[in-house]
Amino acid sequence: MSGVHDPPEAPSWLLMALEARASIEWASLLFAWPWLKRAPSGDGHPVLVLPGLVAGDASTWPMRRFLEQLGYAAQPWDLGLNFGPRGATVPKLIDKIQGLHREHGQRVSLIGWSLGGAMARALAAELPDAVRTVITLGSPIQPYPKATNAWRLFEAVSGWSADDPELHELAGRSPPMPNTSILSKADGIVSWKVSLAPDQAHSENIEIPASHFGMGANPIALWAIADRLAQPEGEWKPFENDGLLRSLLFRKPEQRSKVIRQ
């Protein structure tokens, strides 16, 4: 198996300090709401949103409210704070996804922020018949856990060692359905290099200007999510950043991951 030659490093302390700008992103959501109302509308299919490490459903409420306004059946994960894949968390999520699939008669889209995104990808790989698409936000989806500034906290709350081979195998599973990684090179918590989705025909990376803690409420990220979810099932195409505004707000990282895992 081949990968990047040098393991990526965690974001610098300067980038981590700049995470304070997340408050501006959250505040900008109010002013951007009229623009966001012009985002592509949905088809009503269920969307399950997973929060980041030590975060809960309150952190994803603005995103879910936005998706509801677009016509999706946006769902919280309903498991309290995210302490990682410990105890009955994964079985409960599997039951929830399968239940939403049966209830709505449609496959479920998964959106995960940070650790929630890594978990969403592993769940999608486990449930290919029930999951429609996966979208991650600043998520560590490559097996370099120490390329984040949160790995010690993860070990403390999850009971897992960041170097556990089983954890690496789970994190490295690649969903067989369309998947999008939204990332920022200014992320102060997770190195953008470990957020790169594998170089496959049904995966893509979208780079935006955002902080890690503000990404889930960042209007640019929300627009990208709406664009990806609005595609008819079975007609997925990569994100297009044509036009002056899109080319300024959305970029394609020049470095793609060469690590492909099944």
Confidence of residue 75 (pLDDT cuts 50, 70, 90): very high
How do residues 78-120 score in pLDDT, each as one tens digit?
999 999 999 999 999 999 999 999 999 999 999 999 999 999 9
Contact status, residue 180 vs residue 203, Cβ threshold 8 Å: yes
pLDDT at 262: 31
Q: Cα dihedral sign for 147, 153, 159, 161?
A: positive
Q: At 121, which helix (H) or strand (E)?
A: helix 115-126
Other Cβ atoms within 10 Å of 234 Cβ, number: 7
Residue of 201, 192, 251, 221 lying closest to 9 (CA atoms): 192
The predicted pLDDT at position 163 comes to 87
Instruction: Examine the pLDDT at 161 and tell me if it is beyond 70.
Output: yes
pLDDT at residue 159 is higher than 70: yes
For the chain, the C-alpha Rg in angstroms (whole number) is 17
Out of 172-176, 200-204, 213-217, least confident range: 172-176
Q: So what CATH class is 13-249?
A: alpha beta
Taking CA atoms, 193 is separated from 142, 160, 163, 186, in Å, by 8, 22, 18, 11
State residue 254's pLDDT score. Answer: 61
Q: Quote the pTM value.
A: 0.91
